[in-house]
Amino acid sequence: MAGRVVLFLSHADATSLRLAGSCALTAASMNDRVDVFVFGPAVAALVEAHGDPDHPAALLQQARKIGICRLLGCSASLVEGKVEPSLAEDALDAVVGWPTVVEWSRGVVDRFFF
């Protein structure tokens, strides 16, 4: 039976990006719905990685292509990181604030933090 997995990604180092990507890709491959909430410097890293198959965040984009994984950027982090909104549109499924993060992750047991 398919479930739900929520990932919170706030670190932009290669290890965190790869671990989050591996977790998201595995869960999506198992037909779990995956929401990856991206915060802080990880937002800029994910946007920068878009289209680069060698970037440590490439697995996150692969998980997204499966169709049941959403990459959701924090609106405040987008502003703080001076990320160009038009670039974020291509790399992220949505830009959301804390009320959405809380509502969309409510009740999900499988939560992972990177």
Residue-range definition of the domain harbouring residue 47: 4-113
Element (H, E) at 15: helix 14-29
pLDDT at 60 over 80: yes
Report d(CA 89, CA 85) in Å as an integer: 6
Q: What is the mean pLDDT of the chain?
A: 95
CATH number at residue 14: 3.40.1260.10
**Using CA atoms in the order 88, 16, 55, 46, what is the torsion angle rounded to 10 degrees?**
0
The residue with greater pLDDT, 38 or 2, is 38
Supply the pLDDT for residue 1.
58
In the chain, % of residues over pLDDT 90: 96
90 pLDDT band, cuts 50/70/90, is very high
Closest CA to 93 of 60, 59, 58: 60
Supply the pLDDT for residue 2.
75
Closest CA to 10 of 48, 47, 37, 35: 37
Instruction: Give the total number of structural domains in the chain.
Output: 1
